[in-house]
């Protein structure tokens, strides 16, 4: 079945460092891809999305490009802030009518001043 | 933007109690809602898909008699954990979806932390 694999965390960075969180997927069809962020004690917030190959999703300085040839959707940010500390989930939405999401395991990011 | 309200945010109760969690879409109609369970430092596990006016579809391994789901209107779905036991303690999160093809995002509630003593 479809699946999402994320790099294991935690990722610890200093403020203003460059961030990459790797995400690869396995899917039989043409999924949509998402990054969600979860701050401590809260639910998930959509960070960005891409619906087809070569699409680039971006929001709040974060970017991810839908790479069909490498089945990847890596999350990047050029300069992280302490407020970016959270857990980041890569997810895919299967094709079809129910919009069921399959999540990766999540990557915890800790940014220090 | 789309807002999903989940209530209560935290519940602490005795073993054997039934607990109801509500999930409301505040500014849109949700044809489909999803219920997830999240264990500490783990990812979200889909429990069931709830469609307005019909029976919920449960994922493999989820006891439907244990986790009762009702989606009586386009803005409200409820999850009732019946006769809860300590192993049911977890973080439960709902999400709502307006419908359409798979490129539409789900909107998540803030979650309910359930602790069974």
Of the two residues B85 and A2, the one the predictor is more confident about is: B85
Q: What is the DSSP string of A58-106?
A: EETTEEEE-BTTTTB--EEESS--GGG-EEEEEEEE-SSSS--EEE---
d(CA A6, CA A29): 20
Residue B91 has pLDDT above 50, yes or no: yes
* Pairs across A and B, CB distance < 8 A: 60
How confident is the model over B32-84, as pLDDT tens digits?
899 999 887 778 889 999 888 888 999 999 999 999 999 888 899 999 999 99
Number of residues that make up chain B: 117
Q: What local confidence, expressed as pLDDT, does residue A97 receive?
A: 44
Q: What local confidence, expressed as pLDDT, does residue B79 receive?
A: 97
| Arithmetic mean of pLDDT over chain B | 89
Residue B101 has pLDDT above 80, yes or no: no
Number of residues that make up chain A: 113
User: B110: cis peptide before it, omega within 30°?
Assistant: no
Residue B96 has pLDDT above 70, yes or no: yes
Give the mutation candidate from B43, B54, B71, B97 for the A interface (greatest A CB count, under 10 A): B43
Give the closest of A34, A94, A104 to B105, CB-based.
A34
How confident is the model over A23-80, as pLDDT tens digits?
999 998 888 899 999 998 788 899 999 988 999 999 999 999 999 999 999 999 999 9
How confident is the model over A92-110, as pLDDT tens digits?
987 644 467 889 999 999 9
Cβ within 8 Å, pair A32-B97? no
């Amino acid at each position: 079945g479809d699946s999402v694999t994320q790099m294991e965390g935690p990722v610890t960075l200093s403020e203003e460092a460059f961030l990459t969180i790797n995400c690869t997927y396995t899917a039989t069809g043409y999924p949509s891809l998402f990054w969600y962020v979860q701050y401590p004690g809260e639910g998930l917030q959509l960070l960005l999305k891409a619906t087809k190959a070569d699409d680039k999703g971006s929001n709040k300085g974060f970017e991810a490009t839908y790479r069909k040839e490498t089945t990847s959707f890596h999350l990047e940010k050029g300069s992280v802030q302490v407020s970016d500390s959270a857990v980041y989930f890569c997810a895919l939405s299967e094709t079809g009518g129910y919009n069921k999401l399959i999540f990766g395991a999540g990557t915890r990011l800790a940014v220090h001043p | 933007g789309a807002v999903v309200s989940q209530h209560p945010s935290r519940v602490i109760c005795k073993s054997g109690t039934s607990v109801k969690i509500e999930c409301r879409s505040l500014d849109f109609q949700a044809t489909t809602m999803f219920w997830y369970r999240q264990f500490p430092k783990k990812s979200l596990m889909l429990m069931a898909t709830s469609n307005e006016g019909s029976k919920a579809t449960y994922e493999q391994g989820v006891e439907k008699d244990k986790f009762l789901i009702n989606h009586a209107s386009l803005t409200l779905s409820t999850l009732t954990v019946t006769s809860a036991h300590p192993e049911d303690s977890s973080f439960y999160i709902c999400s709502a979806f307006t419908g359409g093809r798979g490129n539409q995002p789900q909107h998540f509630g803030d979650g309910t932390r359930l602790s069974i003593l």
